[in-house]
Amino acid sequence: MKRILSSKWFRIPFFSFLTIFALIGFFLSASYVAIKFKLTNDSGIVDQNNRYFDAIKDKYDQSFKKDTTKVIFDDYQALQRILLLNKHYPKNAQHILHAYQKSNNQTEVLRMLDAVDIELKEDTDYQNDLKALKKSQIKQSQIRHQSVFEWMNIAEWQTFKIAVSKDKKLIDSVANQTGVEARLIVACLVGEQIRLFNSGREAYKKWIGPLKILSVESQFSFGVTGIKEQTAKDIEHNLRDKSSKYYLGEKYEHLLDFSGADTSGQRISRLTSFKNHYYSYMYAALFLKQVKIQWEKAGFPIDHRPEILVTLFNVGFPQSEPKSNPKVGGSTIKINEKPYSFGAIGYQFYYSGELYDLFPFKSHKFDWKEHA
C-alpha cells in the first residue's frame, strides 16, 4: 500500500486533482466575495456627448406641440436640414426622409436630425453649412411672423384687432341696415383709430391698451370713426332731402331721426358714447353710401374703389368732386416715423386679409343683397 501511495503514477494524478479542486474552491469563494461586496459591478461611463443630450431633451416640449404655427415652420426647416444632410451623407438623409414620409411625426424627425448633428459636431464642413442654414432660417422665421404692411407689425395693431372684434355685432347690424359692406366700414375705422393708437399717449397707456378698447373722440371730431359735427349734420340732411345728389331713398330717411328738440345734444351724445358705438358706424356707413351715390349719378362709379371711398370719408363732402381720375390721400398718419395717407391705410387693411373671418368680402361692397 505504501509502495502504491509513493508511486509516481499515483502521486502525480492525486496532487493534480487536489490542486485543481483547490483552485475551483478558491475561484468559487472569490466569486462569492466579489458578488457579495458588489466588486463585479460595472460602474460604466458618462458619454462624452451627455451635455448635448441634456441640452435637447426638452427641445420639443408641450408648448412646441401646441404651437401650430411653430410646428408647421419647423416642419419646413426639417426638410431644409434633410436636404443639407443629403449633401454630406445621402444614406442617412434617405433614412430620415423615409421616416418623415411614413410617420408624419415632425418631432421625431427633428430628433433624428439632432442625433446627426451631435455625431457630426466635429465635422467642420457640415457644421459650417448647418450654421449658414440656421442663420437663414432665423431670418425666414422673423419675416414669417411679420406683415408686409409695416404698420401692422406694431403692438397697437394687435390691440385694435381685439377691440374692434368686440363691436362685430354692431358693425354687422349697421351693414345690414345700410347695405354697406362691414369690411368697408372697418377700413374707415382703421385709419382713424391707428392715428389715435399711439403708445406714447396717456389715454393709450391708461385705458386703450390695457382694456383693449377703441378710442372715442369728443372734441373736434366725435366717436370711434371721428365724425365731425358738420359732417354728421350734412349726412342727416342728405337722408331727408329728395333733391340732394346724395339722396339714398325713402327707406333710409329715418335712420337718424331724433326724439326731441335738442338735436345737437343728442347727436353728440350718440357719437361719443363709450358703451355703444352704433351711431359712429351708422354715420360712417351712410357717408360712404351717399358719396358712392353722388359719384355714380355723375357717371364716375367708385363702389369698387375702397381707397377712394376711405379718402373721401377722411376729407369730407366739400372735397367729394366726381372725376375720372380721383386721387388717394387724405390726412398724413405717421407710424414709427413713416408717413402714410389715410386712404392708403384703409386700402392696405381692406386687401390685407387681416380680420377676414370677422369682416369678409361681400359679393358687392354696396347693396349685395340686391345683387344676390
Hey, what's the cell of 314?
A: 377722411
Q: What are the domain boundaries of the chain?
A: 50-144, 150-361
Whole-angstrom Cα distance, residue 186 to residue 180?
11
Whole-angstrom Cα distance, residue 289 to residue 303?
9
CATH of range 150-361; options 3.40.190, 3.80.10, 3.30.70, 1.10.530 = 1.10.530
| pLDDT (mean) for 305-325 | 96
- At 219-277, the pLDDT tens digits run 889 999 999 999 999 999 999 999 999 999 999 999 999 988 889 999 999 999 999 99
- At 171-185, the pLDDT tens digits run 999 999 999 999 999
| CA distances to 112, 234, 279 from 264, in Å | 72, 13, 14
Whether the full predicted model's pTM is greater than 0.85, yes or no, is: no
